[in-house]
Structure 1
Amino acid sequence: MPIDAAKALAAEPRIGEISWSHKDVQLYHLGIGAGVPATDPDELRYTLESGLHVLPSFATVAGAGSPGVIGGLSMPGVDVDLAHVLHGGQSLTLYRPLPAECTAASTTSRIAAVHDKGKAAVLVMRTDVADADGPLWTGDAQIYVRGEGGWGGDRGPSLRREAPAGPPDRTVERPIREDQALLYRLSGDRNPLHADPGFAKRAGFERPVLHGLCTYGMTLKAVVDTLLDGDVTRVRGYTTRFAGVVYPGETLRIRMWRGGDSGDGGADGDSDGDGGEVRVAVSTVERGDAPVLADTVVAHS
C-alpha cells in the first residue's frame, strides 16, 4: 500500500522557515480577484502597500505555499500519484493578525491523522507557524487520495454539518477570470492540474480547474467585505470542505448566513459580542448552482 499510515503518523515533524514581503501579499490578493475596481478604496487596502491589510487566507500560500498539500505528499510513509490527489478541505485557526511582511517565521509540519474512507485515504497535514512574537496560525489541509483506502483504518470524523436554516442573509456573485488559475499559481501552487490541459484530462477533468484554495480565498474576502465591515483582523478561524470543482471563466455564487454568537454578544454574529460565525455555501452559477464549498464557517470577533 503506497500509504503506510503508521509510518506517516510516527514521522518526526518537519521544521522549516518561511518569509514573505508585501509583494507576496499583493500578488495573492490579485490572484483571488482583489483590485476591481482598481481605484476603489475598499480594494486598495488589498493592493496598495501603504496600509496593506492581509486577508488571513494568505496563510495558505505564505512562504510559497510550503508545505501545504504537496508537502504532505512528500512525508515518510506517503507515495502516491499526484493525479489521484484532491484537496478535500482546509481549516485555519488564527492567533493574531498576519503581518504584511515577515523576515522569519518557523513552520512545524506533520501528518496529524490518516483516515480510511474506503475508496480513498484522507491525510491531515497540520502546520503550525510562529514568528518572534509567538504563534501566528495553525493550518490543517485534508488531502484526499483516490484509490488508497480500504485497509480497515479509522474513518475519522465527519466534516459535514446541517445546512443553515432559512434564506441567506446575503448573497453575492464573484466572476472568475479566464486566467485566474494562471495568476493564482504564481503564489506557489504549481500543480499542473490548474494549468496543463493534458494533465487535467488524465486526472479526469475536461480542462484545468481553479485551485480550491483560490475559491477559499475569494470566499473569505467576500465574507469580510460584506459582513465584517472589511476588517480582516476580525477573522479568528476559517474552515471548509471542497465539494466540487470550479473552472476559470465561471461565476461563484456565495451565500452567507449570520450564525449564533460564540461569546456574550448578540445572536446575529455582529461585533457587539465576543464573537460569532458566518455560515457559507458556494456554488457555480453557470452549472445550475453546482456546489463548490460546503460546511464552510468563518469564526469572527
Structure 2
Amino acid sequence: MPLDAAKALAAGPRTGEISWTVRDVQLYHLGIGAGVPPDDPGELRYALERGPRVLPGFATVAGGGAPGVIRALSLPGVDVDLARVLHGGQALTVHRPLPAEGTATRTERLTGVYDKGGAALLVLRTETADADGPLWTEEARVFVRGEGGWGGERGPSARPGPPTGPPDRTVRRPVRPDQALLYRLSGDTNPLHADPAFARAAGFDRPVLHGLCTYGITLKAVVDTLLDGEVTRVRSCDARFAAVVYPGETLRVRMWRRHAAVQVSVSAVEREDAPVLDGTVDVDAPR
C-alpha cells in the first residue's frame, strides 16, 4: 500500500506515557561510546549510578521502545517497507536539564509529508513533558525511498552554508565494531543495524550504525571538547544525516564556535573523510 499523505496529515496527535531509570541513561551513554577510558573521571560521570550527568541526546531514546523514525511508520496512512526507510535528520530542543530518572507524557503527530521526487519526507514532531512542565521537543525527519513523485509540496530545502575557515577543534571518535548491537539495546531494533541479510536487501554492504548513535557521539564530542562536560549548557541540536556510518569506522568531528552555537561537520576517516553528518548545537554562555 503506498503512502497516503492526506490521511497521514489528518491523523490526530498520539499521546502516551514513558518512563526511564538511571540504568537506561547508563546504557544509552555506553551505546554512544562513553566510558572510554574507564578510569577517566569525566567518562565515569556518564557511567556510574551516583547522579550521572545526562546527555541531552538521551531524550531520543527515553522510555525505550521504537525511536521517532520508526514510530512515524505506524501512523495512519503510512504503510511502507522498512527496507526503504532512512533517517534523514533529527532536531532536539531541551527545555530544562533532563532528570536521570522520571515519568513523562509524550505527544506526537506528523507535521509534514513532502514530495522529494524519488522519496517522501515525513516529519514527526514530539513534545514531552512531566508534572513540572515541558522537558524536550524533538523532530525526526524520515525519508521513504520510492514514495515520492505524487506532485505534493517539496517542503523546506534550505541548508546552512558550510563552515568557513579552519575548525576551532577537531577530534576523532572510534566506533566499535559492535557499537550498533550495543546501541540497539536502548530501543531501536531496526534490523538494518544488525542483520546482514536485511542490510543487503536495503542496498548496503553490511549493517549500518544508527543515525541517532552518530548524533549522540557528535553531541558528546561537543560537550566534552568545547563545553567542559557541562551537559546543561546544550539548548538544542539540529543535524542532517548526509550518509551512513559503518561500525568499526572512525569519525572525525570538526567544530566551529559561532557565538552561542557550535557548527559541526562529521566525516568517516577510512572513506577519505566522506561527510556523514552536519549540524548546529545551540549552547548557553559559560557560567
Equivalent residues of 1:159, 1:241 under 8 A apart: no
Correspondent of 2:266 among 254, 257, 282: 282
Aligned partner letter, 1:58? F
- Give the count of matched residue pairs: 284
For residues 277 and 2 of structure 1, the distance between their equivalents in structure 2, rounded to whole angstroms, comes to: 40
For residues 111 and 230 of structure 2, the distance between their equivalents in structure 1, rounded to whole angstroms, comes to: 32
Residue in 1 that maps onto 2:206 = 207
Does residue 63 of structure 2 align to residue 52 of structure 1?
no
Alpha-carbon RMSD across the aligned residues, in angstroms, is: 0.9
Matches within 5 A, 1:132-171: 132-171=131-170
Equivalent residues of 2:60, 2:67 under 8 A apart: no
For residues 200 and 139 of structure 2, the distance between their equivalents in structure 1, rounded to whole angstroms, comes to: 28
- TM-score, normalised to structure 1, is 0.93
Aligned partner letter, 2:130? D
Counterpart secondary structure, 1:93: strand
Equivalent residues of 2:172, 2:251 under 8 A apart: yes
Residue in 1 that maps onto 2:237 = 238
Equivalent residues of 1:256, 1:278 under 8 A apart: yes
For residues 197 and 139 of structure 1, the distance between their equivalents in structure 2, rounded to whole angstroms, comes to: 30
Shift of 1:51: 2.5
Residue in 2 that maps onto 1:88 = 88
Residue in 1 that maps onto 2:21 = 21
Does residue 79 of structure 2 align to residue 79 of structure 1?
yes
For residues 135 and 39 of structure 1, the distance between their equivalents in structure 2, rounded to whole angstroms, comes to: 36
Shift of 1:12: 1.1
Does residue 116 of structure 2 align to residue 113 of structure 1?
no
Aligned partner letter, 1:218? I
For residues 55 and 185 of structure 1, the distance between their equivalents in structure 2, rounded to whole angstroms, comes to: 17
For residues 8 and 162 of structure 1, the distance between their equivalents in structure 2, rounded to whole angstroms, comes to: 32
Residue in 1 that maps onto 2:63 = 63
- TM-score, normalised to structure 2, is 0.97
Task: Describe the shift of the 1:13–1:220 C-alpha distance in structure 2 as closer, same or farther (beyond 3 A).
Answer: same
Shift of 1:65: 4.5
Unmatched segments (≥5 aa) in structure 1: 260-268, 270-275
Task: Describe the shift of the 1:67–1:200 C-alpha distance in structure 2 as closer, same or farther (beyond 3 A).
Answer: closer
